[in-house]
Each structure stands twice: as C-alpha cells, then as structure tokens.
Structure 1
Amino acid sequence: MKDKPYRFVIQDTANRKYLLHIDSGIDHPYEDTNTTEEATKWSTLEHVAYVLWWYVDLHREYQIVNLDTNEVFMKDKQRGIPHVMSVSK
C-alpha cells in the first residue's frame, strides 16, 4: 500500500507563520515556523480539521493550506465542529 502524502499545514492568518507540533503536554503544543518545510504536515483534511478545532489556540485565527493545490480552508463555525470550508480564491 502506498503511503498518503502529507499535504496539509496550519497557518496563522495574522503573522503568516506555520505551526510545528511539539510534544510538550501544554495546552497549545505548537511553535511558529517560517516555512512549510519546517511545519507539521497532516495527510487528510479530516485530520487537520479536527486538530484545528480541538488543539489549536482558540484566540487567534488559523487556516489550513493544501500544499498540493494551494487551496485554503477556514473553520466553518455555522456548521460546527470539526467542519471547515474552502476559502480559496
């Protein structure tokens, strides 16, 4: 079976940095990174949407970026957890 590519990253919409997961045991176990190469990558939109809803800081705005297509997803607050919607141009 072929491994799925890891194509999704989470990006802070304010500072444009990407999140790197650090296994620290704290409430927001992420550090900002400057590049997608340094960032944590997820293989499915479903998984990264779950992470965005439950494990990423709720006081800032983040988006999910598909590295293959450059499609951008944001929380779909009207549909509820853990839905996201495409906002790509």
Structure 2
Amino acid sequence: MDSLAKSFEPAAIERQWGPLWEDSGMYEPTLDAAKPSFSIQLPPPNVTGTLHMGHAFNQTIMDSLTRYHRMKGDNTLWVPGTDHAGIAT
C-alpha cells in the first residue's frame, strides 16, 4: 500500500488508453433513428461553487447511466445544464 499515490493522477492511464479509445470511434456521436435514445441534463454546481460528496455521487450516477446506455448502443447525450440554484443568486 505504500506505492499508492496520494491523489488520483489520470495522466498515465489516459496517455495509454486515450488514443486507443479515440481511434476506435467510441466518442463519435451517433444518431440512429432505429435505436432508442437516452439523454440526461448535467446541472452545474451551486452558486457557491462548493462541491461535496452529494455532487460527486450525483455526477457518478449520471456518468454511469450515460455510459451504460452508450454501451447498449443507444443514442446518448449528456447535456450541460442551466443554473438550478437561481434563488441563491
């Protein structure tokens, strides 16, 4: 356990796998009318900009759902959202 990094550093992993994933077309958008579609809106953090475990959990669920539908072959779209904390501003 002494060899684990103190924080997550994705650069080495992305350097190895990123080009393979990009070359394979995994990130290419699809719009096949014969396939079901899945879309989810990504809300921004609150106006305070403070992130907490709830935000991390929420983002993980949305990411997992989007990737799941993408792997099933569905047309997928993860849309950046609008401010959901307008009252605070």
**TM-score normalised over the length of structure 1:** 0.25
- Structure showing greater relative contact order (alpha-carbon pairs closer than 8 Å, 6 or more residues apart): 2
Higher CA-based Rg: 2
What TM-score comes out, normalization by structure 2 length? 0.25
Is the strand fraction higher in 1 or 2? 1
- Whichever structure has more helix as a proportion of its residues is 2
